[in-house]
Amino acid sequence: MKIVVIGGTGLIGSKVVAKLTAEGHEALPASPSRGVNALTGEGLADALAGAQVVVDVSNSPSFGDDEVMDFFTTSTTNLLAADKAAGVAHHVALSVVGTERLTSSGYFRAKIEQERLIEESGVPYSIIHATQFFEFVRSIADAATAGTTVRLAPVQIEPMAADDVAAAVADVAVGEPLNAIREIAGPEEFQLDELVRQDFAARHDPREVITDPEARYFGAHLSTNELVAGKFATRYPTRFEDWLADAELDKSD
């Protein structure tokens, strides 16, 4: 099976390509560095020729409200048109648990629009809502940092390993289209501020984490369980403490 992975050289995409290739599929990593740009349409027709499945795990290079909306609407519109022209039978997109609840954030409003375009396209699809990745805990902290302090809301989060996300995406890609959303999550819940404290302790990061119920999450005001998957989500096994023990941590940071 030929499967084109948009964003296929990134964190999740490269892992999806590796898993699909190991399973014997023709997995093509597609990204601007490989001459395939969903935002401009460059290279899409050639890349999708003969493909049965397109997997979109790309992300916007900018989180500004206008820029991120333009990225997801334009790239998704281009991809869906290319899907139809190539006769692609399954469009798979990676999104985020809680997207529909976080409308105060421009990023999540853009993801909602991306999902609407897919659902209304007529192309058979599967949308995967994943909880936040362990690998992005530092990015969450960086976005909430001012000087040497990090302000985070005391809300619940159910993070998961990028390897588990990629495994879920690859499994969905080779299955029948869901024409629905599937939620995936890690095996444990944490309080967001405590999760970052654990990460900082492992990395010897000297920043101070301050618990602040009014702190924003990429522009969104959070209530207690907006970052937690529902009871019917598929939960993957990798635990945060085990991931930390195996990760190649930069102790100098």
* Nearest partner of 76 among 49, 101, 95, judged by Cα: 95
Residue 217 three-state SS: strand
Residue 7 backbone class (left: φ over 0; alpha: ψ -120 to 50; beta: rest):
left
pLDDT of residue 246: 87
Q: How far apart are CA 77 and CA 71, in angstroms?
A: 10
User: Could you tell me which of 178, 157, 175, 179 has the C-alpha nearest to residue 167?
Assistant: 175
Cβ-contact 138, 190 below 8 angstroms = no
CB 23 within 8 A of CB 173: no
Single-letter amino acid, residue 179:
N
Residue 177 to residues 22, 32, 138, 229, Cα–Cα distance (Å): 22, 27, 34, 21
Q: Where are the domains of the chain?
A: 2-246
Q: Residue length, the chain? A: 253
Looking at beta carbons, which pairs linking 205-209 to residues 24 or more positions away fall under 8 Å?
Answer: 205/141, 205/253, 206/148, 207/141, 207/145, 207/148, 207/149, 207/150, 208/148, 208/149, 208/150, 209/141, 209/149, 209/150, 209/152
Task: Give the pLDDT score at 182.
Answer: 97
What's the pLDDT score for residue 201? Answer: 93
pLDDT at 248: 56
User: How does DSSP assign 152-174, residue by residue?
Assistant: E---EE--B-HHHHHHHHHHHHT
pTM: 0.92
The pLDDT assigned to 50 comes to 96
Q: Which residues of the chain have pLDDT under 70?
A: 248-253
Can you give the pLDDT at residue 193? 96
* pLDDT recorded at residue 131: 96
Nearest partner of 51 among 86, 19, 7, 14, judged by Cα: 86
CA 249 to chain centre: 22
Domain 2-246, CATH homologous superfamily name and number: NAD(P)-binding Rossmann-like Domain (3.40.50.720)
